[in-house]
A and B are shown apart, each in its own frame.
Chain A
Amino acid sequence: MSSANPIVAIAGLNKWFGEFHVLRDIDLAVGRGERIVICGPSGSGKSTLIRCINALEEFQEGRIIIDGIELGPNLRRVDDVRREVGMVFQSFNLFPHLTVLENCTLAPIWVRHMKKKDAEAAAMQYLERVRIPDKANSFPGQLSGGQQQRVAIARALTMTPKVMLFDEATSALDPEMVKEVLDTMVDLAREGMTMLVVTHEMGFAKEVASRVVFMDAGQILEANTPQEFFAHPQHARTRLFLSQILR
């Protein structure tokens, strides 16, 4: 599993939660502009994997190199890596006490040291990109789930990340709102953003993924193009998983 000149390179990654071996010998290289969809049953370690890439989780063995910056097991250079990587969470995690615009300018102002005016102008551009500029002065609690998640995407984009991580970004949404968030993610993919997406939306995988990675029990069991992955799953566990989610 290698790509030439990868922007994310994971080698020999192992992680334990106490005694529980949650990630086992993960090797994964993601090229620039690649869209990786990671799927698998719950508890398979897929969320933990992408949380490791953003240094939200420590790991015990292996290497993660992001755009030439190595994130060792001791998590030095965390700040450098986080500046390159944006993340969208299942539960949105917008800051409820700040307006939408303030959510989108907090990090540019305090991490990138942008002027408030410039940060607001940039934030408005990203809010327009996710088609929600009219809600700039609302509080997150006044928005629907789909709108909140789109704001969360805009907030991550304001830091101009080179890689975007999506941790089950549509799982907490009502069915009617899943589409608006997926559309935003598809737009982002079309613009050439490097994306690692943990999701159960197989339609999204078929439409935009360059590769689909299947994980179970902390291990990558299969990785392939979406065409091959869905048409000819090789591993028995993959076939069982697909038969359960695609009816």
Chain B
Amino acid sequence: MNDGPFIAQKLIPQRAPPVLRRGPLAFVMARLLNSPTNILLTLASIALLYVTIVPAVRFLLVDAVWHGTDRNACLVENVGRAVGACWPFVQAKFTQFVYGFYPADQRWRVNLTFALGAALLLPLLIPRVGGKVINAALFFVAFPIVAFVLLVGIGGNTLPIVPTRLWGGLLVTVVVSVTGIVGSMPIGIALALGRRSTIPLIRVFSIAFIEFWRGVPLITVLFFATYMLPLFLPGNFNVDGLVRVLIGIAIFSGAYNAEVIRGGLNAVPRGQAEAARALGLSYWKITGFVVMPQALRHVIPGLVNSFISLLKDTSLVSIVALFDLLGQLRASFADPAWATPTTLFTGFAFTGMIYFVLCFGMSRYSLFVEHRLNAHRRN
């Protein structure tokens, strides 16, 4: 352009951005092999994948033994080749992994509970399905009562009482983590609000409560709940061991959630509450309709982080004689009928996959929710 006055003669229409190359080969050339450093990194990555994926596939699939009735099926001298995963072991112990020592003729109650829970949870998780209020009421209020009656029983012939010490496996893992997650949220919200309260007594109590529970290891909490609490409670007042553990875990992770939620509350601009106050809304309505919904949206990643860590921490209950999935697995290793060199690896690989599916599922779902709720922010 020359110096001096300038007047545009026409408006420039929008056009598509230039695309240099398309296709997989172009992608590889442009992203993976475009400089000596990247070529080196690509080779190193391929080598890394080779040394991790190939043995894993070989162990889990290629060399694996698929059929058999006892350890003999998985011994090298009987198979005549290298032996990988011993899947018959998992088949044989599968019911134990799921139900623990829950009486075999009563296992339909566990199945029914799982089915009911899934039937109520799935529509709750899918945004397009309507009736969320009724659905939530059923899942959070009615379902726990039904599940309790079904799993524990009411005595008699139809629903004989199954003491919780017979529960185990995936049942315990799911019960502990679902109650922990659902129970820790209201505790976390209440403590987060309490810590921001202008009333000193509530604030000090909340701070002390949060710091106490965050400062104590979960193992200590579980030990205390299981072995020491009964000593302090009056003799005729006995709470079931599993229930004590559930309460301990809910409070413990509630204290963590409180700090996550408080971070979200701090991220909501002050003007939001002020505008709501100027409209005449009360504290609880401001919190419920304006501040808390925004705060929770901010902290979905943090909350799911603590849910995932809670799910995996449930394996700690095995030290207080509750046999969760991992505890059940370790118990099954003691069975001499399945003592083979690869039993241990097979078992851990199997339970590892179950934990991974559960955690990865939560993680993906939280991403989905995050994108959906934050749609309004992407202008």
Contacts and interface: CB of A to CB of B under 8 A. Distances in A.
Interface of A: 54-56, 79, 82-83, 85-87, 89, 91, 93-97, 106-107, 110-111, 139-142, 152, 155-156, 159
Contacts of B272: 93, 95
Greatest chain A CB density within 10 A among B279, B281, B289, B290 is at: B279
Contacts of B280: 79, 82-83, 107, 111, 159
Which 10 residue pairs spanning A and B have beta carbons closest together?
Answer: A139-B376, A93-B275, A107-B279, A93-B271, A87-B278, A82-B280, A111-B280, A83-B280, A141-B376, A110-B285
B220 interface: no
A155 B271 contact: no
B328 interface: no
Contacts of B275: 87, 89, 93-95, 152
Nearest to B293: A97
Nearest to B290: A95
A94 B279 CA distance: 12
A93 B274 contact: yes
A106 B279 contact: yes
A239 to B, nearest CB: 34
Contacts of A93: 269, 271-272, 274-275
Nearest to B373: A97
A96 B376 contact: yes
Given A96-B377, A97-B376, A82 B278 contact: yes
A155 B376 contact: no
B379 A56 contact: no
A63 B254 CA distance: 45
Greatest chain B CB density within 10 A among A94, A97, A152 is at: A97
Contacts of B274: 56, 89, 93
B79 to A, nearest CB: 60
B297 interface: yes
Contacts of B281: 106-107, 110-111
Interface in B260-287: 269, 271-272, 274-282, 285
B294 A97 contact: yes
Chain B: interface size category: 20 to 34
25 contacts: A54-B278, A56-B277, A79-B282, A82-B277, A82-B279, A87-B275, A87-B278, A91-B269, A93-B269, A94-B275, A95-B275, A96-B294, A96-B376, A96-B377, A106-B276, A106-B279, A106-B289, A107-B281, A111-B279, A111-B285, A141-B376, A142-B376, A142-B379, A155-B279, A159-B280
A155 B280 CA distance: 12
Given A55-B277, A83-B280, A111-B279, 18 more contacts: A56-B278, A82-B278, A85-B278, A89-B271, A93-B275, A95-B276, A95-B290, A106-B276, A106-B279, A107-B281, A110-B285, A111-B280, A139-B375, A141-B377, A141-B379, A142-B376, A152-B275, A156-B278
Greatest chain A CB density within 10 A among B275, B278, B293, B297 is at: B278
Nearest to A96: B376
Contacts of A87: 275, 278
A41 B290 CA distance: 33
Nearest to B282: A79
Nearest to A138: B376
Given A95-B290, A97-B376, A139-B376, A159 B271 contact: no
Contacts of A86: 278
A141 to B, nearest CB: 5
A110 B278 contact: no
Contacts of B278: 54, 56, 82, 85-87, 89, 156
B88 to A, nearest CB: 53
A49 B110 CA distance: 64
Contacts of B290: 95, 106
A111 B293 CA distance: 19
A135 B277 CA distance: 24
Contacts of A140: 376
Contacts of A107: 276, 279-281
Nearest to B376: A139
Contacts of B297: 97
B293 A159 contact: no
Nearest to B375: A139
Interface in B288-307: 289-290, 293-294, 297
Contacts of B276: 95, 106-107
A203 B255 CA distance: 55
B278 to A, nearest CB: 4
Interface string B353-379: 000000000000000000001011111
Nearest to A112: B280
A140 B377 CA distance: 9
Nearest to B285: A110
A233 B306 CA distance: 63
A55 B278 CA distance: 8
Nearest to A139: B376
A89 B294 CA distance: 19
A159 B290 CA distance: 17
Nearest to B274: A56
B178 to A, nearest CB: 27
